[in-house]
Amino acid sequence: MTHEVSLAVLERDGRWLLQLRDDIEGILFPGHWGLFGGHLNAGETPFQAVNRELVEEINWAPENLLVPWFSNHSSTLVVHVFRGPLCVSLGQLQLLEGQDMTLANLEELASGAIWSPRLREFRPIAPGLDIVLQRQLSDQD
């Protein structure tokens, strides 16, 4: 069975908004940094899913439409990645899922670990985020 997810690369001043996933047993990559987003519900388009997830996870709906960037397909997972500007400050977002959020630049992402202001420690990035980072770097070439 193939699952589909939609993720948002929200950019502000050259940095991406990241979510620190909860430390809950049974979820994918607990305690890792990733992008906001999640699974598609039955009958939902990737665009609808990413916008729903942003409201559910940070209580924010983008003023500007998110643009489809790319999709990545494997035998069990289809990942739809959207991107757009984050036009509000972190203080205007309400973290409803996850244990922290932060903005990170490409150099920090490439390091493989990001500082959590709330937990006051470095946490690793989720393996799937590498695919998005590599796409960004290849688009810059």
List the beta bridge partners of residue 112.
none
Q: pLDDT of 113-133, one tens digit each?
A: 999 999 999 999 998 898 899
Domain positions in the chain are 3-139
Distance between CA atoms of residues 37 and 108, nearest Å:
21
Q: pLDDT of 26-84, one tens digit each?
A: 888 999 999 999 999 999 999 999 999 999 999 999 988 899 999 999 888 899 999 99
Does domain 3-139 sit in CATH 3.90.79.10? yes
Q: Which of 135, 107, 104 is nearest to 33 (CA)?
A: 104
The reported pTM is: 0.94
